[in-house]
Amino acid sequence: MKHAPVKAAPGKAARHAGLLLSGLLALVALPTAQAQSASCAAVPAWTSSTIYNPGDKLVYQNHLYQANIQIWNAPPTHCPSCGWYTDLGVCGTGGANQPPSVTLTAPTNGASFTAGSNIAVSANASDSDGTVSRVEFFRGTASLGVDTSAPYAVTWANATTGSHAFKAVATDNNGASTTSTTSTITITGTPPVDTTPPSVPTGLAASALSSSSIGLSWNASTDNPGGTGVAGYDVYRNGSLIASPTATSYTSTGLAANTTYSFTVRARDNASPANASAQSGAVSATTLNGGGGGNKRVIGYFVQWGIYGRNYRVKNIDTSGSAAKMTHINYAFGNVRNNRCEVGITQPTDQNTGVGGDAFADYTKSFGAGESVNGTADTWNQPLRGSWNQLKQLKAKYPNLKVLISLGGWTYSRNFSSAASPANRQAFVASCIDAYIKGNLPVTDSAGGPGAAAGVFDGIDIDWEYPVACGLSCGTPADNANFTALLAEFRRQLDAVRPGLLLTIAAGAGVDKVRVTDPAAYSQYLDYINVMTYDFHGTWDPQTNHHSSLFDSPNDPSTGDQKFYNSNDAIEAFLSRGVPASKLNIGIGFYGRGWTGVPNVNNGLYQSGTAAPGTYEAGNEDFKVLNTRPGTIYTDANARATWKYDGNTFWSYDTPAMVTEKMGYVKAQSLGGAFFWEFSGDDAQGTLVNTISNGLK
């Protein structure tokens, strides 16, 4: 995916009444739990990028504060009356942090149990000068689990024979830990053989969520007394096993539009071999009709920075006639920093470090009535403004339209490797869902707050450029497994919020990007994959070539992996690795790549040249400009690619005729649809969007 240009944060013409009110509120006393001095030893200072959870302590302006809600970017004095923090007092000479206390209350030391039993392990924990953040239980050195709230307890299921020692480790909000005394028990006898299956799941319900997915839910099964417990469920579609989730919900994806499917579910226990219940009664559901391209997806990227120099707003999607043709819109991009989805930041983008953000464009800019989708001007203090509010208005006008947040992209991908690692993965995903799905935004410029962006985004699109391979920075071999695990974690947490929330990726189209990951493993968690079948060549190459050809050509002088840089070989790379065709979308660039100083040989193709001048970037120009530029359009009969050449300057781009040909390829290959980068490259009449939509019908 292309990247955001480096730009300064947008300026504000004047400070309005909301900021004056914030200043007055700063004079109001914060909730104070301790009027005297407080110990600030080893407590970190407040920073705008840190996400504070309830109970976390921090130092700000020589005061000790405790967070009462999950919050970031807003200092303790920003809104004292809001109750976001508690002032624990002025930093003084109080004693150092005291560790928590913890006592194991079960099992009793010396107790005996029968093999196969379920052993309750519990503890009491408290902290005299703070809060207990977690209690982790151990059998020997093996963790049995973590409990974050009293009463603290876990269960060791299906106990095995032998002597076993248990302990509990309590950790307070300052990171201090205490380990309980050990309790040792004995397990004797032979485990009873469990031959009784769990109860049959009841209440199976199915509902169409989109043209390609159906959401399922059911009531939890129970196991027999003394049994091994319910391990999970098997989901069947039209009689074939499709998934084995542990939760009581599942989203079946990659389905055909306007098609009826039948589902059943059964339960399994932990016995070896497992006992399975009978299958539930069948339920049926029919997927929705497709969007603007018949039964195919039509997906477009709307870029955060487009509202500035490009002067392209969400309203333009509507006035161009494009909105009625779309099934999905991706908003680009959300940043990934400090192992979190970073929102609420307004600062220039730096490709060298990955810093950057534009909360102003996202949700604080006020649009006037003439710029607004619904014709209503924003007010200065409404919680959601900016392009996100405009997207919400667009969805209200087009109820079948889905909007996703795209994370990463070319500029913001360098931190994915760390965020996807086992130590950070779960918390990273939770931060993304909290911000973009639950809509909890940092308060800035009188916008944001709990739930402010709820209902804007229907899913998350991961644009990691690239796992294992190199983009602006290079990945590591560990990215392969971590990428798959990251997508599994996103799917798990999204389904826990609401089955039917979308999870997609933008994937590199070069075979060198595909083979270092495992599409067969990760595609099961995705609704679809946007294969970036463009930018195969550009002015980083010393000679002209096609930036988005449909096929290869025997005349292409490229060598090595670049011989396979074309759309068909990219799609085949995924199909050959087991990805269903219905989950693959082909990519269209609403721009061209250009060289100048090109010799008039072979109509400029495969000739030397340098980057041609462009409106925003050398070597790059929008379709709407190229479409009216002088020159002759040529078509490569082998590669099925078009270019324009005027005897000196060569531009490789997709004409409407070539877009139509590519849509024919999508239908012939039974692909899921097409996506494009990005709206502002099209003309005011939405010519290319119309061409995609009509070509898919």
Can you tell me whether residue 90 is helix, strand or coil?
A: strand
DSSP letter for each residue of 104-148: EEESPTT-EEETTPPEEEEEEEE-TTS-EEEEEEEETTEEEEEE-
494 C-beta neighbours (distance < 10 Å), count: 22
Long-range contacts made by residues 41-48, C-beta under 8 angstroms, separation at least 24? 41/94, 41/96, 41/97, 42/96, 42/97, 42/174, 43/97, 43/174, 46/75, 46/76, 48/72, 48/73, 48/75, 48/345
Residue 677 tokens read as 């980068």
Euclidean distance between CA atoms 681 and 312, whole angstroms: 10
Count Cβ neighbours within 10 Å for each residue of 600-630 and write b for 16 or more, e otherwise: eeebbbbbebebbebeeeebbbbbbbbbeee
Count Cβ neighbours within 10 Å for each residue of 228-247 and write b for 16 or more, e otherwise: bbbbbbbbbbeeeebbebee
- The strand pair at 183-188 and 112-114 is best described as parallel
Can you tell me whether residue 574 is helix, strand or coil?
A: helix
Tell me the Cα Rg of the chain: 29
Can you tell me whether residue 341 is helix, strand or coil?
A: strand
Q: Which of 643, 635, 641, 550 is nearest to 598 (CA)?
A: 643
Residue 644 tokens read as 């324009």
Can you tell me whether residue 97 is helix, strand or coil?
A: coil
Could you list the active site residues? Answer: 465
Euclidean distance between CA atoms 49 and 58, whole angstroms: 13
CA angle 533, 537, 538 (to 5 degrees): 120
